[in-house]
Amino acid sequence: MKLTKLLLSSALLSSTLFAGGDIVPVEPVIDETPVINEWNYSGALYFWAAGMSGKTADDGDFDIPFSDILENLDMAFMGTLSAQKERWGMHADIIYFDVGSTLDDSRLIDDFSLKSWVISPTVSYELVNDEQFNLHALAGARYFYMKPILKLENGSSRETSGNVWDGIVGLKGTYDFNEKWFMPFQADIGAGDTDVTWQAFAGIGYKYENFDLIVGYRHLEWNFDDNAPGGKVFNDFNIDGPMFGAKFRF
């Protein structure tokens, strides 16, 4: 064994001498594989040119176009926040509006006002991710706070305030037409304090270096249980219309 070690040492010394006498240090091998498990964040601000429609608890139809809402809009905020790590994501969609309107063409309601928050926190899991298409399953909740006041033609009024929570499940994703143009979409449905709530969205987007521009159409709806907050004022309440905004990547 000692003889073997001596021969190996001699061979190493000889190779060093023939190389010019300089011992060349061996550089350590560093794995430069990129780390892909970091969190990626994004946020969006958007404008929803939505109208409101539905049925009152007395089965009276109402339909408030966006032009009336915009004319009587006191305050509005609409945005989203997202965090993505590998296949998992966390998201929050936030809407606030304070609006009132005089309804000239309603057969039941003279005046309408509504203050409301709609907050939808969800968790998503990526099911499909290829060169053009990605698809995520999502689950979470939808919180709806409302303070509606309806003044009826007969001189009476209906007023309530409260909040409802619904669990929701759905799908979201994008389809890339090319490196710049893409189609985002989302659909979900749920129930809880209301009989059912659901929404659907589809649009067209264009990618810039650090942000995307998106235009599309969104429908959001609740069908109220008679005993739930809001059920004494509405049977159905819908918000729908075109929307556009910008999504920023951090």
Digit-coded pLDDT (tens) for 62-115: 787 888 778 777 778 899 999 999 999 999 999 998 887 655 555 555 677 788
- Give, rounded to a whole angstrom, the gap between the first and last alpha carbons of the chain: 61
Question: Which residue's entry shows tokens 């060349």?
Answer: 24
Q: Is residue 191 assigned to a domain?
A: yes
Residue 62 is assigned to a structural domain of this protein: yes
Query: CATH number for the domain including 153?
Result: 2.40.128.90
Is 29 strand, coil or helix?
A: coil
Residue that wins the pLDDT comparison between 131 and 155:
131
Domain region containing 80: 41-249
Banded model confidence at residue 19, pLDDT cuts 50, 70, 90? very low
| Domain total of the chain | 1
The pTM score is 0.77
pLDDT category at 11 given cuts 50, 70, 90 is very low
For residue 190, being part of any structural domain is answered with yes
Q: What angle do CA 117, 144, 94 make, to 5 degrees?
A: 45
Residue 144 in domain: yes
- Using 50, 70 and 90 to split pLDDT, how confident is the model at 34? very low
All residues at 6 or more sequence positions from 86 whose CB lies less than 8 Å from its CB, including other chains: 36, 37, 126
Q: Is the pLDDT of residue 189 over 80?
A: yes
Residue 141, C-beta contacts closer than 8 angstroms, at least 6 positions apart: 120, 121, 122, 165, 166, 167, 168, 190, 192
Residue 121: inside a domain, yes or no? yes
Indicate the pLDDT class of residue 147, thresholds 50, 70 and 90. confident
Asked whether residue 108 is assigned to any structural domain, the reply reads: yes
Pick the closest to residue 221 from 203, 232, 235 (CA basis): 235
If you average pLDDT over every residue of the chain, what do you get?
82
Res. 37: pLDDT tops 90 = no
- Residue 182 in any domain: the answer is yes
Q: Render the burial of 193-231: b for 16+ CB within 10 Å, e for the rest.
A: bbbebbbbbebebebeeeebebebebebbbbbbeebbbb
| 3: in domain | no
pLDDT at 65: 81
